[in-house]
Chain A
Amino acid sequence: MSAAPARLGLPDLGYGVGLRRAHMAEVLRTQPAFDWFEIISENFLDSHGWSRHTLQQIAERYPVVMHGVSLSIGSSDELDFEYLATLKRLAKEIGARWISDHLCWTGVGGETTHDLLPMPLDERSLHHVVERVRIVQDVLDRPLVLENPSTYARFAADTLSEWEFLGRVAEQADCGLLLDVNNVYVSSVNHGFDPRRYIDALPAQRVVQMHLAGHRACGTHILDTHDTPVSDAVWHLYRYATRRTGSVATLLEWDSNLPPIDRLLAEVDKARAWGARESPFDAGVFDAGVFAPDAARPEVLTETTGGHPAFAVAEFRA
Chain B
Amino acid sequence: MNETVDFPSQQAWLQRAIVAPGDAALRERATDFLRSSADLGSGARLAIYQRSYRARLLEAFHAMFPVLLHAIGADALDVFALDFLAQQRPKHVSVGRIADGFAAYLDATRPRQTAGDAPGWEEFVLDLARLEHALLEISDARGLEDASPPPCDVRALGDAELLRARPAPAPCLRLLASRFPVHRYWRAVRAGEDPEPPDATACWLALTRVDYRLSPRELAPVQWELLARCDGNTPLHTILVDVAALGLRPAPDQVLARIWLSNFVTQGLVCMG
A-B contact pairs, 25 of them (CB 8 A): A46-B96, A47-B140, A48-B141, A48-B143, A49-B138, A49-B143, A49-B172, A49-B212, A70-B93, A76-B7, A76-B12, A113-B18, A115-B18, A120-B11, A122-B7, A128-B7, A152-B49, A154-B34, A191-B37, A220-B39, A308-B52, A308-B59, A314-B63, A315-B63, A317-B214
Bound form: Cα–Cα A211–B19 in Å: 29
B113 within 8 A of A: no
Chain A residues, CB < 8 A from B138: 49
CB distance from A56 to the nearest CB of B (A): 11
A190 within 8 A of B: yes
Give chain B's interface residue range (CB within 8 Å of chain A).
Answer: 35 or more
A266 within 8 A of B: no
**Contact between B49 and A114 (Cβ–Cβ < 8 Å)?**
no
A289 within 8 A of B: no
Per the 8 Å Cβ criterion, residues 105-146 of B in contact with A are: 135-136, 138-143, 145
- Spell out B's residues near A (CB within 8 Å): 1, 3, 5-8, 10-12, 14-15, 18-19, 32-35, 37, 39-40, 42, 44-46, 48-49, 51-53, 55-57, 59-60, 63-64, 89-98, 135-136, 138-143, 145, 172, 209, 212, 214
Bound form: Cα–Cα A271–B271 in Å: 51
Chain A residues, CB < 8 A from B14: 117
Q: 7 extra interchain contacts, Cβ-Cβ under 8 A, other than A46-B97, A76-B8, A155-B34?
A: A46-B140, A53-B145, A112-B92, A190-B40, A308-B52, A316-B63, A317-B135
Give chain A's interface residue range (CB within 8 Å of chain B).
Answer: 35 or more
**Contact between B56 and A308 (Cβ–Cβ < 8 Å)?**
yes
B31 nearest in chain A by CB position: A156
**Contact between B34 and A120 (Cβ–Cβ < 8 Å)?**
no
**Contact between A112 and B63 (Cβ–Cβ < 8 Å)?**
no
CB distance from B143 to the nearest CB of A (A): 7
**Contact between B57 and A49 (Cβ–Cβ < 8 Å)?**
no
